[in-house]
Amino acid sequence: MEASASPTVPASLPEPPWWSTTDVALADRTDAWEAALSDNFRRWQVPDRVAPEFNARLRHRDVAGLRVVECICDPCGGRRLPRHVSQEGAAYIGVQITRSGRESLRAGDERVAVGPGDLVIWTSDQPMEFTVTERLHKVSLILPWDDVKERLPRTGRFRGTVLDSRSGIGAVLYSHIESLASQLEDLEAGELSAVRRATVELLTAAMSCRLEPAPRGLSLQQLKRVQDYILDHLQDETLTPGSIAQAHHISPRYLHLLFGKTGQSVSAYIRQQRLERCGEALSNPSYREHSVAEIAYQWGFTDPAHFSRVFKQHFGHPPGHCRR
């Protein structure tokens, strides 16, 4: 295949503008701050008037189903009441890293103090409160809760947690979000889906140990090994539940029991992962000279009509839409 003389490189994303209280009249700052919080984090209420000298800045970027919000604010407070939660649609999950400053968070019956370097994970399907006690600079990553929940074992309701960001998976996740916030404008369109997938996988890994009791640890390890095997063999069109079970010396029935913990069948998991790889390739300029059928075949889809149908069901638009 002959390479083009001047490959097209997508332009970088423009840097998002800052919203600031300095652009708002003093008398309107409390209401404006409440509206800014609600626009970025769903419905929040600011119960007390902010101080006359209160200053806050906020900006966000929405990419590939993720929202990255950077917020800097003086001491203040806010809350999400049960009626706010009940009036909203699908929940989201938030991952917050604190660059500087301090605040107190309450989710359900749990209250935690948050300071520089802390990493907090929370969900929007419960009442919450925050109190900023020292000028705060934080970055929050927000994505649909269903995208993460479907990858977690069914072990009860997740209420939120604080992770140690100094070592282990917490340190990796903290660095990932920090890098994502600073490098977002430099990512090309074809890279965003891969970054999103890596983000969800990291977040799932960080949360799994907080959900799974010790007696079921071995089955979780087995499930992780099977999922890794599937990801390594996605391009093999002969990949089936039977071949996967045989490769791991387990019965097909036990394989389906392992995936039952995630609420997703083995076949559905394979199809979802293949579709996501196809979506990434179709939106990547490097694959412009490959037809939709070639990309589908590369990732294990042998019937173009079937591929187009399941792709549209998964993404809400036909494969060709990714190339417009």
* pTM beyond 0.75, yes or no: no
Q: What is the pLDDT of residue 54?
A: 96
pLDDT tens column, 133-192: 999 999 999 988 888 877 776 655 566 677 778 888 888 989 988 888 887 777 776 777
CB of 265 closer than 8 Å to CB of 256: yes
Helix, strand, coil % over all residues of the chain, rounded to 5: 45, 20, 30
Over residues 95-137, the pLDDT tens digits come to 999 999 999 888 766 778 888 988 888 888 888 899 999 999 9
Look at residue 240 in the predicted model and tell me its pLDDT: 92
Q: Which fold has domain 19-210?
A: Jelly Rolls (2.60.120)
Choose the most confident range, by mean pLDDT, from 63-72, 105-114, 190-199.
Answer: 63-72
pLDDT score for 36:
95
Q: Which residue ranges make up each domain of the chain?
A: 19-210, 217-323
- Report in angstroms the alpha-carbon separations of 247 from 253, 262, 272: 14, 21, 21
How confident is the model at residue 211, as a pLDDT?
Answer: 54
pLDDT for the residue 212: 42
The pLDDT value recorded for residue 147 is: 82
Alpha carbon distance 249, 297 (integer Å): 28
What pLDDT is recorded for position 4?
35
CA distance 94 to 199: 12
Quick one: pLDDT band at residue 23, thresholds 50, 70, 90? very high
For the segment 42-65, the average pLDDT, to the nearest whole number, is: 90
Cβ neighbours of residue 47 closer than 8 Å, sequence gap 6 or more? 77, 78, 79
Provide the 10 A C-beta neighbour count for residue 46: 20
| Gap between the terminal Cα atoms of the chain | 23
Q: How confident is the model at residue 3 (pLDDT cuts 50, 70, 90)?
A: very low
Res. 312: pLDDT tops 70: yes
Q: What is the mean pLDDT of the chain?
A: 83
User: At the fourth CATH level, which superfamily is domain 217-323?
Assistant: Homeodomain-like (1.10.10.60)
Q: Tell me the pLDDT band of 194, cut-offs 50, 70 and 90.
A: confident
pLDDT at position 6 is 34
What's the mean pLDDT in 269-293? 88
Q: Are 263 and 257 in contact (CB under 8 A)?
A: no
CA distance 166 to 292: 44
What pLDDT does residue 10 have?
41
| pLDDT score at 31 | 96
Question: DSSP of 201-252, one letter per residue?
Answer: HHHHHHHHHHHS-GGGHHHHHHHHHHHHHHHHTTT-TT--HHHHHHHTT--H
Residue 270 is predicted with a pLDDT of 92
- Return the residue matching tokens 């900006």: 59
